């Protein structure tokens, strides 16, 4: 069964991993920002990151990461949330607005003008690093031995 929240999880994750200022810039190019009311104004805090012993075993606390979160509501009642890494209040606001607007008629416009650009930028960034890593992959070869 498909996860009913899959789409929303994907766009929230995409915006959380975007470069600083990118979501806000794309949103402002796509449309004028609508009025909204804060449910929770942007707030900076931390999240404890966990790992697993041996990569697969029991969880342990690795250390914290800074996170900014906020929640807002549009005049139509749609609620937008943002939880994004770093201390980035303006980015959190933009991400929560896009999250709320994705639940309105503006969804198609934002998918094309914001989300797809974010996705392309992330794919390009990841592929460039992967290609640089691939260039440092060792190609072993066996030396010809002296004796026959």
Partner 1 sequence: MYVAVKGGERAIQNAHAWLAEERRGDTSVAGLSVAQIREQLSLAVNRVMAEGSLYDLDLAALAIKQARGDLIEAIFLIRAYRTTLPRFGASAPVETAKMACDRRISATFKDLPGGQVLGPTFDYTHRLLDFKLAADGETPAAAQREADPAPVPHVTAFLNREGLIEDAPHDDTPPPDLTREPLEMPADRALRLQALARADEGFTLSMAYSTQRGYARNHAFVGELRIGTVAVEMDIPELGFTVEIGEITLTECETVNQFKGSKTEPPQFTRGYGLVFGQTERKAISMALVDRALRWEELGEDNVGAPAQDAEFVLYHADNIQATGFLEHIKLPHYVDFQSELELVRKLRREVETSQHQEAAE
Which residues contact partner 1 (rule: CB under 8 A)?
3, 5, 8-9, 12-13, 16-17, 43-67, 69, 71, 81, 83-87, 126-138, 140
Cβ(142)–Cβ(54) below 8 Å: no
Measured CA to CA, the distance from residue 52 to residue 96 in angstroms comes to 31
Measured CA to CA, the distance from residue 35 to residue 116 in angstroms comes to 24
- Smallest gap, in angstroms, from Cβ of residue 94 to partner 1? 15
In residues, how long is the chain?
148
Query: Given the complex with partner 1, which of 5 and 75 has the nearer CB atom?
Result: 5
Query: Given the complex with partner 1, which of 34 and 86 has the nearer CB atom?
Result: 86
- Smallest gap, in angstroms, from Cβ of residue 112 to partner 1? 22
The candidate with the shortest Cα–Cα distance to 95, out of 11, 5, 4, is 11
Query: Given the complex with partner 1, which of 33 and 50 has the nearer CB atom?
Result: 50
Q: Are strands 59-74 and 36-52 parallel, antiparallel or unpaired?
A: antiparallel
- Smallest gap, in angstroms, from Cβ of residue 81 to partner 1? 6
């Amino acid at each position: 069964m498909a996860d009913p929240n899959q789409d929303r999880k994907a766009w929230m994750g995409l915006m959380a991993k975007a470069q600083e200022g990118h979501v806000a810039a794309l949103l402002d190019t796509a449309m004028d920002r609508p009025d909204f009311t804060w449910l929770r104004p942007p707030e900076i805090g931390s999240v404890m990151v966990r790992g697993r012993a041996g990569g697969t075993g029991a969880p342990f606390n690795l250390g914290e990461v800074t996170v900014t979160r906020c929640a807002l509501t549009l005049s139509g009642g749609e609620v937008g949330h943002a939880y994004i890494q770093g201390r980035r209040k303006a980015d959190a606001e933009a991400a929560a607005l896009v999250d709320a607007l994705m639940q309105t008629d503006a969804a198609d416009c934002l998918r094309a003008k914001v989300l797809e650009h974010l996705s392309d930028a992330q794919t390009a960034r990841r592929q460039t690093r992967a290609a640089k890593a691939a260039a440092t992959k060792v190609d072993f070869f066996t030396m010809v031995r002296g004796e026959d």
